[in-house]
């Protein structure tokens, strides 16, 4: 008998600590204390916020935090501190990190219909935290790693290591089904304890499954690979018997007691929610470049010298330093067909004598630049012209009161060569937002989709956000969501 192999599980058990899971009430073999779990969550949270944007709506954030804290208070781990964050992303997702850090994407909020459904999403994620799913997965992963290492040293072969890796993959991937079902059960219990109908969990699954069905249809139409929803309830079919069983265990309200749905409260807090790409946030997130001037209407950008003040007048765009010692002026006119930038510039300046005269090309544009001198042959102006389509942009750099320590011509040239077209994708686009209206007897999804002009698959999108997918129509008097 190989006693070395028998000692591996014993060593692994010695390295791990056995504790009672606060949610299941059963022993857990884990490699992490609660303090370490919370510290890990905090570190992961801080790293996450550096890579993903947070949706800035204080009232909505406070509302979601209030609902989340209410559910968490009625969970198996009410004593840890919970943090609820809205991620500014259009994707449909929600997830939890260890130690009480829970996230919901802005995109998912558009598809929910009530406070109860919001509570269901948050309760499901709280269930992952209370059952310590990440910690249990971490232990399984590390356990597999330890077994793999010892197998090499004790047998001189990687065969057992390969089997161990297969065990690790099967165990961790298998947890997906069991852990999601476990989180559903705990979530339903927390919903009931918080005054919400546990069936809101089933309603929310229906919303997500409709979206998943549409994603498969769209992927097929576009010849792409379908993206399945991997977050809340992803592993459950609509008519899952085990799911119904775990939700039924949460309890039922007496006939004389109503559960909380709070549809009107949910409408109030999601009115005006950004739908799809948040262009305003993207614009704000762009790094501020000192001196960069962007003209959205004409579609160009120009970098003025740092700390220069820029003024946009009706005749020109003018930049100057605080001491007014120089200025750079930009004007625009129609380019003349068949005339080169150099000839155009000499004609405008009414001179045939441009010093250091040269053609140049930059950012897909052609131009010409040179220096104008005064009667004494001294530097007077740096001038340039650039052709962009039918427009000719004239730049004139003038020294008004020279300073010995400033190379003005170098500053002017740097600005001239910074001129470039502003790509349409970088121009300011208006974000679409979610609004609520009441349907009447004439309301029709197909007609509404044409009126709103919200892009491809508009009827499907409207039905999805209103719980009417694939072919439903609203009843007169129903509140429905529209996108504008």
* DSSP 8-state class, residue 113: -
* CATH code at 288-426: 3.40.1000.10
pLDDT band at 448; cut points 50, 70, 90: very high
**Residue 82 or 148, more confident:** 82
Q: Where are the alpha helices (DSSP H) in 322-433?
A: 341-349, 408-416
16 with 139: CB under 8 angstroms? yes
**Residue 175 or 224, more confident:** 224
Beta partners for residue 312, in sequence order: 317
Angle at 470 between CA 464 and CA 474, to 5 degrees: 70
User: What tokens does 366 get?
Assistant: 């052609």
**Segment of 66-75, 222-231, 232-241 carrying the highest mean pLDDT:** 66-75
345 with 385: CB under 8 angstroms? yes
Closest Cα to residue 247, out of 178, 187, 334?
Answer: 187
Q: Which of 189-193, 269-273, 317-321, 426-430 has the lowest mean pLDDT?
A: 426-430
300 with 393: CB under 8 angstroms? yes
Which residue shows structure tokens 């073999």? 29
196 with 116: CB under 8 angstroms? yes
Cβ partners under 8 Å of residue 145, min gap 6: 168
- 470 preceded by a cis bond (ω within 30 of 0): yes
Taking only the tens place, the pLDDT of each residue in 391-428 is: 999 999 999 998 888 999 999 999 999 999 987 544 56
**Residue 129 or 133, more confident:** 129
pLDDT of residue 141: 64
> Measuring CA to CA, how many Å separate 464 from each of 54, 120, 212, 269?
24, 18, 10, 19
Q: What is the mean pLDDT of residues 452-478?
A: 95
pLDDT of residue 166: 29
**Gap between the Cα atoms of 2 and 45, Å rounded:** 45
Which residue shows structure tokens 């001196």? 291
pLDDT of residue 45: 92
Cα-flanking dihedrals φ and ψ of residue 214, to 5°?
Answer: -65, -40
**Residue 307 or 286, more confident:** 307
Taking only the tens place, the pLDDT of each residue in 335-371 is: 988 999 999 999 988 877 789 999 999 999 999 999 9
**Gap between the Cα atoms of 343 and 367, Å rounded:** 11
- Work out the percent of the chain whose per-residue pLDDT is above 90: 55
Q: Helix or strand or coil: residue 408? A: helix
pLDDT(170) > 50: no
Q: Where are the beta strands (DSSP E) in 246-349?
A: 274-275, 292-295, 300-303, 309-312, 317-320, 326-334
210 with 469: CB under 8 angstroms? yes
pLDDT(284) > 90: no
pLDDT band at 253; cut points 50, 70, 90: confident
**Gap between the Cα atoms of 324 and 313, Å rounded:** 17
pLDDT of residue 231: 45
Taking only the tens place, the pLDDT of each residue in 322-341 is: 999 999 999 999 998 899 99
Q: What is the mean pLDDT of residues 18-41?
A: 76
Q: Helix or strand or coil: residue 473? A: coil
439 with 480: CB under 8 angstroms? yes
Q: What is the mean pLDDT of residues 260-279?
A: 95
140 with 171: CB under 8 angstroms? yes
Q: Which of 77-81, 187-191, 199-203, 471-475 has the lowest mean pLDDT?
A: 199-203
pLDDT of residue 262: 95
pLDDT of residue 244: 82
For the chain, the average pLDDT equals: 84
Q: Helix or strand or coil: residue 373? A: strand
Which residue shows structure tokens 């930009």? 330
User: What tokens does 303 get?
Assistant: 């970098």
**Gap between the Cα atoms of 397 and 329, Å rounded:** 6
Taking only the tens place, the pLDDT of each residue in 7-27 is: 545 444 444 455 677 776 676
pLDDT(168) > 60: no
pTM as predicted: 0.69
362 with 417: CB under 8 angstroms? yes
Q: Which of 151-160, 345-354, 464-473 has the lowest mean pLDDT?
A: 151-160
pLDDT band at 304; cut points 50, 70, 90: very high
* Radius of gyration for the chain, computed over Cα atoms and rounded to the nearest angstrom: 32
Q: Tell me which architecture the domain covering 432-483 has in CATH.
A: Roll (3.10)
Q: Which of 69-78, 340-349, 385-394 has the lowest mean pLDDT?
A: 340-349
Q: Where are the alpha helices (DSSP H) in 132-262?
A: 133-155, 159-193, 200-222, 241-248
**Gap between the Cα atoms of 411 and 78, Å rounded:** 62
Domain ranges of the chain: 3-275, 288-426, 432-483
pLDDT of residue 31: 64
pLDDT(226) > 60: yes
Q: First-to-last CA distance in the chain?
A: 73
Q: Where are the beta strands (DSSP E) in 26-106?
A: 27-30, 83-87, 94-97, 101-105
Q: How many alpha carbons fall within 13 Å on the CB side of residue 321?
A: 16
**Gap between the Cα atoms of 35 and 21, Å rounded:** 14
Task: Report the residue count for the chain.
Answer: 484
**Residue 13 or 84, more confident:** 84
pLDDT of residue 145: 45
């Amino acid at each position: 008998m190989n006693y070395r192999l028998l000692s591996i599980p014993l060593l692994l058990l010695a390295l791990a600590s056995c504790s009672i899971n606060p949610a299941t009430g059963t022993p857990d073999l884990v490699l992490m204390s609660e303090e370490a779990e919370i510290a890990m969550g905090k570190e992961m949270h801080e790293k996450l916020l550096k890579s993903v944007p947070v949706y800035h709506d204080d009232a909505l954030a406070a509302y979601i935090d209030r609902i989340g804290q209410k559910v968490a208070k009625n969970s198996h781990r009410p004593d840890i501190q919970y943090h609820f964050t809205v991620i500014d992303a259009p994707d449909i997702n929600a997830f939890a990190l260890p130690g009480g850090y829970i996230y919901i994407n802005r995109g998912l909020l558009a598809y929910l219909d009530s406070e109860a459904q919001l509570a269901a999403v948050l309760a499901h994620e709280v269930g992952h935290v209370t059952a310590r799913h990440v910690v249990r997965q971490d232990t399984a992963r590390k356990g597999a790693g330890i077994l793999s290492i010892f197998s090499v040293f004790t047998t001189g072969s990687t065969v057992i290591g390969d089997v161990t890796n297969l065990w690790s993959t099967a165990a961790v991937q298998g947890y997906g089904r069991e852990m999601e079902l476990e989180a559903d059960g705990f979530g339903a219990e927390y919903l009931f304890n918080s005054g919400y109908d546990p069936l809101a969990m089933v309603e929310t699954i229906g919303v997500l499954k409709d979206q998943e069905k549409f994603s498969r249809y769209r992927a097929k139409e576009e010849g792409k690979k379908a993206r399945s929803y991997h977050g809340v309830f992803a592993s459950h079919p609509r008519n899952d018997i085990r799911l119904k069983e775990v939700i039924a265990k949460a309890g039922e309200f007496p006939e004389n007691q109503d559960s909380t749905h709070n549809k009107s409260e949910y409408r109030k807090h999601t009115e005006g929610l950004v739908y799809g790409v948040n262009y305003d946030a993207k614009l704000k997130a762009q790094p501020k470049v000192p001196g960069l001037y962007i003209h959205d209407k004409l579609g160009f950008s120009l970098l003025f010298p740092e700390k220069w003040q820029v003024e946009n007048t009706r005749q020109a765009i003018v930049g100057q330093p605080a001491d007014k010692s120089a200025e750079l002026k930009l004007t625009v006119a129609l380019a003349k067909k068949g005339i080169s930038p150099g000839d155009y510039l000499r004609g405008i300046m009414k001179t045939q004598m441009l010093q250091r005269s040269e053609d140049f090309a930059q950012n897909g544009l052609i131009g010409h630049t040179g220096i104008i001198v005064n009667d004494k042959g001294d530097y007077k102006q740096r001038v340039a012209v650039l052709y962009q389509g039918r427009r000719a942009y004239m730049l004139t750099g003038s020294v008004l009161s020279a300073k010995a320590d400033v190379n003005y011509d170098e500053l002017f040239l740097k600005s001239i060569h910074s001129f470039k077209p502003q790509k349409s994708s970088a121009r300011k686009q208006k974000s679409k937002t979610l609004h609520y209206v009441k349907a009447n007897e004439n309301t029709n999804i197909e007609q509404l989709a044409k009126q709103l002009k919200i892009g491809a698959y508009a009827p499907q999108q409207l039905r999805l956000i209103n719980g009417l997918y694939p072919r439903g129509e609203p009843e007169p008097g129903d509140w429905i969501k529209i996108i504008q």
